[in-house]
Amino acid sequence: MTNDHPKNDLARTELAGKRVAFLGAGKMGGIILQALLKNGLLSPASTCATVAHEERAKALAAKLNVTVGTSNPDAVKRADIIVIGVKPQVVEDVIREIADFITPAQVIVSVAASVPTAMIEKNLPPLVPVIRAMPNTPSAVGAGMTAICKGKHASAEQVALTCHMFDAVGRTVVVDEKHMDAVTGLSASGPAYIYVILESLAEAGVKVGLPRDIATLLAAQTTLGAAKVVLETGDHPALLKDAVTTPAGCTIDALMELEEGKLRVTLIKAVVKAAQRAKELAYG
Ligand SMILES: NC(=O)c1ccc[n+]([C@@H]2O[C@H](COP(=O)([O-])OP(=O)(O)OC[C@H]3O[C@@H](n4cnc5c(N)ncnc54)[C@H](OP(=O)(O)O)[C@@H]3O)[C@@H](O)[C@H]2O)c1
């Protein structure tokens, strides 16, 4: 999974000597933590984490060779960067729990969906820098997409450092905070939509006689390839689709089926729903 890329050198330099605490090392927090350890951007000695359950803390500590506990105040006391990876509904409690131990020399990076930086800031001492990052699960293989926005007191340098941290597990983009719920609905939840599409394409391959493993490989590599072309050429997807669609050929027949099945509008509605839900979640 090592994402050995020159951008990692930059992140390595900037993170050198920094102590990072991950509060809530579950699926997402754990992915980022493990990726940064694997890429050598963080050392086990400078990293600690918390979870809710003692048994999970023990298991994670043994697996990652880092200090994992259940006390958030203990974890943040010596940390330079504090990554908040708990569920949105738990963020406020965790912030209140650590508030007395936080100073403006530290940086809070929250990956929680929906929770505004203002809500985190108001529960902390004045001037503490807060940044929101919205990653996705492909970060586990270095192909993540993370959108980052700054709160009131975070500096451009702190935003850049956060970008470098998440660059190590994929791509990053800086957005205004007003776009974070939309990002959640598109790229944070997005892998789930793509897995449904992949699963369906693989089923389709089976239906037309392919062995399942080959059908899954064809579907996944085709998805990866199409995405790579969009990213590398910057061409509009409609233009790229036209290049596959020979007049009176096979693809146009398939496209007609997709139109009849309302694939486009269904995907649009799915993202809209997820973005709406993201707006409610912090207090839901
Ligand atoms: N999953 C995604 O694709 C994704 C994408 C982008 C952003 N996010 C965001 O990432 C956050 C976590 O989501 P997730 O899917 O990773 O959930 P998760 O797997 O349930 O992780 C939550 C973690 O928080 C721990 N925890 C709960 N209460 C705690 C407390 N008071 N102090 C310290 N740790 C505590 C849990 O500990 P135990 O393990 O002991 O229960 C668990 O390890 C959410 O805010 C979500 O919006 C997730």
Q: How confident is the model at residue 2 (pLDDT cuts 50, 70, 90)?
A: very low
Residue 107, both tokens: 């940086």
| Residue 103, helix vs strand vs coil | coil
Please give the mean pLDDT across all residues of the chain: 95
Atom of ligand 1 nearest to the CA of 28: 16
Atom of ligand 1 nearest to the CA of 31: 16
Atom of ligand 1 nearest to the CA of 135: 6
Q: Which amino acid is at 245?
A: T
pLDDT digits (tens, 9 = 90+) for 70-99: 999 999 998 999 999 999 999 999 999 999
Q: Is the pLDDT of residue 8 over 80?
A: no
pLDDT digits (tens, 9 = 90+) for 109-147: 999 999 999 999 999 999 999 999 999 999 999 999 999
Atom of ligand 1 nearest to the CA of 55: 40
Mutate to test the pocket of ligand 1, among 28, 50, 146 (most ligand atoms within 8 A of CB): 28
Mutate to test the pocket of ligand 1, among 82, 86, 92 (most ligand atoms within 8 A of CB): 86
Mutate to test the pocket of ligand 1, among 31, 51, 280 (most ligand atoms within 8 A of CB): 51
In the reported structure, the alpha carbon of residue 51 is separated from the centroid of ligand 1 by a whole-number distance in angstroms of 8
Q: Which amino acid is at 58?
A: K
CA distance 84 to 33: 11
Q: Is the pLDDT of residue 212 over 50?
A: yes
Q: Is the pLDDT of residue 174 over 90?
A: yes
Task: Please tell me the predicted confidence (pLDDT) of residue 283.
Answer: 57
CA distance 167 to 174: 12
Over range 229-248, report the average pLDDT. 97
In the reported structure, the alpha carbon of residue 68 is separated from the centroid of ligand 1 by a whole-number distance in angstroms of 14
Q: Give every strand in the sheet of 67-69, ordered side by side.
A: 67-69, 47-50, 20-23, 81-84, 107-110, 130-134, 144-150, 170-174
Task: Please tell me the predicted confidence (pLDDT) of residue 4.
Answer: 55
Between residues 158 and 1, the one the model is more confident about: 158
Going by alpha carbons, the residue nearest to atom 28 of ligand 1 is 52
In the reported structure, the alpha carbon of residue 121 is separated from the centroid of ligand 1 by a whole-number distance in angstroms of 20
